[in-house]
Amino acid sequence: MKQKAVVIIGGGFLQVPMIKEAKALGFATIVTDRNPHCPGARIADITLAIDTYDVQKHRQVFSSLFLPDTYGYDVCGVATCGADVAPTVAAVAEELGLPGIPYDVAVRTHNKATVRAVLSKSPVTLHQPAYTIYRQSTTEEIVRDIHDGFFRHGRDKVVVKPTQQAASRGVSIVGPNDNISAAVEYAMEYGQEILVESCMTGTEHSVELILRDGELLYQNIVDRIFSYVGGVPMELGHINPSRLYLENSDLVARIIEIVQDAAQVLGVFWGPFKADICVTPKGHVYIFECTARLSGGWDCQATTPYSTGRNPIRTVLMLACDLPMDKDKPWLPTTTGGFAACAAGFPKPGAIRSLPARADFTTDMVNIMEYHIICREGDVIPEYKHCAQRQAFFIAKARTYHLAWKYAYEAATQWAGMVITDEANRSQERTMVQE
C-alpha cells in the first residue's frame, strides 16, 4: 500500500510547522517552492522547484500524472499556511480532485479590489472604509483625485496600496501635506491597479476562521501591534489571544459574525479564512483585508498553540485530507494557558557583518518559547518599507497579556541591538569622531 501524502504549497519558515504537522499525522509531504533549498526542503519528502504563485505550472505538473497517485504516493490533500497562495492551493486541489474551495472563489479573495467590489454589494459594505480603485491611471490623476475625493471631504489620511500583494508591500499612509506622488509610485512598483482607502483609527486585529460547509469549526482573534513611522505600517508583532476576549465578549461575537458574513459573501464556505480588521474607539468594525488562508507572522504556527492549546494547522490539514473530526476544542480561546506574543527584530539597515552567537542573546531569555532568525551574515538589510523585511521573530509565553509582549519585545530588541551591520559601524565611527 502506498503511503498517503499531502501537497503543501510553500516551503518557507512559516510553512515548516505545517510540514511537521503533516508528518505527525502520518503523511508524506510534497512541497512546492521556487527555492529548491527552502527551509522546508530539509524535512519534506519531495521538494518541487515551482514558484508558489505560478498556478499554470502547478496545474501542468499535477495534471500530467495519474491522479491521485503522484510521485509514488497516494495524495489525499493540498494546503498551506502563512502564504498568500489560495489560487494555487485551489488549482492543485481541483487537478487532483481533492477537497478545497472553487478556483474562482480563491482568485476572488486574492485581489483586494475584487474583495472590495464583492463586499460592496452586500450589507458587509458597512464594514469597509471608503475606498477607490484606480486602474491604469497616471500618478497625477490619482493624486488629484485623492485631494478632491478624500481630503476635501474631511479625511485626515489615506492608505495607498497595490491590490495583489501581502505583508504590506507597496503600502503607505499619507496626509494632504505628504508626498502623495511618492506613495502612489511606490504602490505602482507592485502593479498598476491601486487601492486608496480612508485611514481608520483604532485597534488592529487579525481574525482567523476555519469553516466546513459553512459551519464554524474554529475562530481566534489576536491583537496586532504596529508602528507607523514615516507612513510605513510596520507590524511589530502580535499578542494572542486578543484582550477583547477578556474585555468585551459581545464585541468578539460581533466581529466573528461580521467576518463570517464576509466569507459567505465571497463564497468561502470551507477551509481557512483570515481578515485584518480595525475596531474604532466607538466600537465600529472595519475590514481592511480578507483572504482564504491561514495567518502568517507565527500566529497559527506558534502563538495560538502556546496560548490556547489549539492547533488550526492540524484542523486545516484534516479538512484538506477529508479526515473525520470534531470541532476544534475548546470552542473559544481561554486564558488558562496564559498569553503568547510574537515580536519582530529590526537590526539597523546595512550589510550584516556579524550575527550574535546563540549564547550571546539567549542567556536572559528564559521566557522565550522559540525564535526564528531569517537573515544571515552577508545579507543586506534595506531601509524598512514593508513587513516582509522583518529579520527575526521571538515568541514568548506568559501568565499575563502584558508580560507576554514584554518578554517577546525585549528579546527581539536585545537581539537586534547585537547585530552588527556596516551602517551601524559607520554610525559608531561618526560618534567617535565627534567625541
For the chain, what are the domain ranges?
4-98, 130-198, 200-337, 341-435
Look up the CATH number of domain 4-98.
3.40.50.20
- Which pLDDT value is given to residue 330? 40
User: What's the average model confidence in pLDDT over 97-123?
Assistant: 94
- 11, 81 contact by CB (below 8 A): no
Percent of the chain with pLDDT over 90: 75
Give the phi and the psi of residue 2 in degrees, each rounded to 5: -75, 145
List all residues 6 or more positions away from 280 whose beta carbon is below 8 Å from its beta carbon. Answer: 200, 201, 202, 286
Residue 417: half-sphere exposure toward Cβ, Cα within 13 Å: 8
- Which pLDDT value is given to residue 423? 65
* DSSP string of 21-57, one letter each residue: HHHHTT-EEEEEES-TT-GGGGT-SEEEE--TT-HHH
- Which pLDDT value is given to residue 424? 53
Percent of the chain with pLDDT over 70: 92
Distance between CA atoms of residues 431 and 219, nearest Å: 51
- Which pLDDT value is given to residue 221? 97
- Which pLDDT value is given to residue 70? 64
pTM listed for this prediction:
0.90
User: What's the average model confidence in pLDDT over 347-357?
Assistant: 93
Q: Which residues of 128-157 are buried (b: 16+ CB within 10 A; e: fewer)?
A: bbebbbbeebebeebbeebeeebbeeebeb
Extract the C-alpha cell encoding 55: 498556478
Residue 329 pLDDT > 60, yes or no? no
Least confident among 97-106, 146-155, 184-193: 146-155
User: What's the average model confidence in pLDDT over 375-391?
Assistant: 91
Locus of grid cell 508591500: 169
Residue 333 pLDDT > 80, yes or no? no
Locus of grid cell 479625511: 155
Which strand (E) or helix (H) includes residue 205? strand 203-212
Q: How many CB atoms lie within 10 A of CB 326?
A: 6
Distance between CA atoms of residues 37 and 247, nearest Å: 45
Topology given in CATH for the domain delimited by 200-337: D-amino Acid Aminotransferase; Chain A, domain 1 (3.30.470)
Residue 376 pLDDT > 60, yes or no? yes
pLDDT digits (tens, 9 = 90+) for 41-67: 999 999 999 999 999 999 999 886 545
Q: Name the average pLDDT for the chain.
A: 89
* C-alpha dihedral, 154 to 175 to 390 to 17, nearest 10°: 20
User: What's the average model confidence in pLDDT over 419-428?
Assistant: 68
- Which pLDDT value is given to residue 326? 63
Q: How confident is the model at residue 388 (pLDDT cuts 50, 70, 90)?
A: confident
- Which pLDDT value is given to residue 170? 87
pLDDT digits (tens, 9 = 90+) for 257-276: 999 999 999 999 999 999 99
Rg (CA), the chain: 22
Residue 124 pLDDT > 60, yes or no? yes
- Which pLDDT value is given to residue 327? 52
Look up the CATH number of domain 130-198.
3.30.1490.20
- Which pLDDT value is given to residue 71? 67
Residue 318 pLDDT > 60, yes or no? yes
Question: When comparing pLDDT for 164 and 305, which is higher?
Answer: 305
The beta strand positions in 318-432, using DSSP E, are 339-345, 350-354, 368-373, 380-381, 392-398, 420-421
Extract the C-alpha cell encoding 140: 497625477
Extract the C-alpha cell encoding 116: 472590495
Residue 69 pLDDT > 90, yes or no? no
